[in-house]
Amino acid sequence: MGIGVSLSRLASSVAREGGLGVVSSAGLDRLVSKRLKNRINTYQAVREEVSRARENGGTVGINIMVAIARDYDDSVRAAIDANADVIISGGGLPLALPGIKKPGNTALVPIVSSARALTLICRKWERHGYRPDAVVLEGPLAGGHLGFKFDELHLDSNKLENLFPPVKETAMKWGDFPVIVAGGIYSHSDITRFLRLGADGVQLGTRFLVTEESSASPSYKQAVVDAGEDDIVVSYKPGSPCGMPFRVLRGAPMFVTANNGRRQPHCDKGYILQKDRQGHYLSCPATSDNSDYFCICNGLLSSAGYNPHEEEPLYTVGANGYKVNRVLTVKELMDELTGLISAPTNEVVKLRELAHSRQPIIP
Classify the C-alpha dihedral 136-319-9-296 as positive or negative.
positive
C-alpha closest to that of 106 among 123, 122, 130, 127: 130
Among 196, 216, 236, the domain-final residue is 216
Rounded to whole angstroms, the Cα distance separating 303 from 254 reads 10
Same domain, 298 and 154: no
C-alpha closest to that of 332 among 228, 232, 211: 211
Q: Is residue 66 included in any domain, yes or no?
A: yes
Q: Are strands 179-182 and 232-235 parallel, antiparallel or unpaired?
A: unpaired
C-alpha closest to that of 170 among 108, 241, 121, 217: 121
Among 216, 236, 252, the domain-final residue is 216
φ and ψ at residue 21, rounded to 5 degrees? -80, 130
Cβ–Cβ < 8 Å for 19, 36 = no
Rounded to whole angstroms, the Cα distance separating 256 from 252 reads 6
Rounded to whole angstroms, the Cα distance separating 151 from 132 reads 30
Same domain, 212 and 225: no
Q: Which domain holds residue 286?
A: 220-321
Find out whether the peptide bond into 238 is cis, omega within 30 degrees of 0.
yes
Rounded to whole angstroms, the Cα distance separating 89 from 107 reads 11
Angle at CA 284, nearest 5°, toward 282 and 290? Answer: 145
Q: Is residue 347 included in any domain, yes or no?
A: no
pLDDT value of position 111? 98
Q: Is residue 329 included in any domain, yes or no?
A: no
Same domain, 167 and 230: no
Same domain, 148 and 278: no
CA atoms within 13 A on the CB side of 192: 7
Q: CATH number of the domain at 183, please.
A: 3.20.20.70
Same domain, 126 and 230: no
Same domain, 206 and 224: no
Same domain, 183 and 311: no
Produce one character per residue of 218-244: b if its CB has 16 or more CB atoms within 10 Å, e if not: eebbebbeebeeebbbbbeebbbbbeb
Same domain, 252 and 201: no
Q: How far is CA 252 from CA 129, 187, 268, 272, 309, in A?
A: 45, 25, 20, 20, 15
Residue length, the chain?
A: 363
Same domain, 252 and 143: no
Cβ–Cβ < 8 Å for 160, 203 = no
Quote the number of domains for the chain: 2
Angle at CA 137, nearest 5°, toward 234 and 28? Answer: 70
Q: Is residue 78 included in any domain, yes or no?
A: yes
pTM exceeds cut of 0.85: yes
Same domain, 226 and 205: no
Rounded to whole angstroms, the Cα distance separating 10 from 331 reads 11
Among 216, 231, 250, the domain-final residue is 216
Q: Is residue 150 included in any domain, yes or no?
A: yes
Same domain, 81 and 40: yes
Side chain identity at 281, as an amino acid letter? Answer: Y
Cβ–Cβ < 8 Å for 167, 114 = yes
Q: Is residue 49 included in any domain, yes or no?
A: yes
Same domain, 12 and 137: yes
Q: Is residue 360 included in any domain, yes or no?
A: no
pLDDT value of position 263? 66
**Could you read off the pLDDT tens digit of each residue along the chain, which spans 363 residues?**
678 899 999 999 999 999 999 999 999 999 999 999 999 999 999 999 999 999 999 999 999 999 888 899 999 999 999 999 999 999 889 999 999 999 999 999 999 999 999 999 999 999 999 999 999 999 999 999 899 999 999 999 999 999 999 999 999 999 999 999 999 999 999 999 999 999 999 999 999 999 999 999 999 999 999 999 999 999 987 888 888 899 999 999 988 888 877 766 667 776 766 666 676 766 777 777 777 888 888 888 899 888 777 788 999 999 999 999 999 999 999 999 999 887 665 544 433 343 344 333 333
Cβ–Cβ < 8 Å for 86, 62 = yes
pLDDT value of position 272? 65
Q: Is residue 169 included in any domain, yes or no?
A: yes
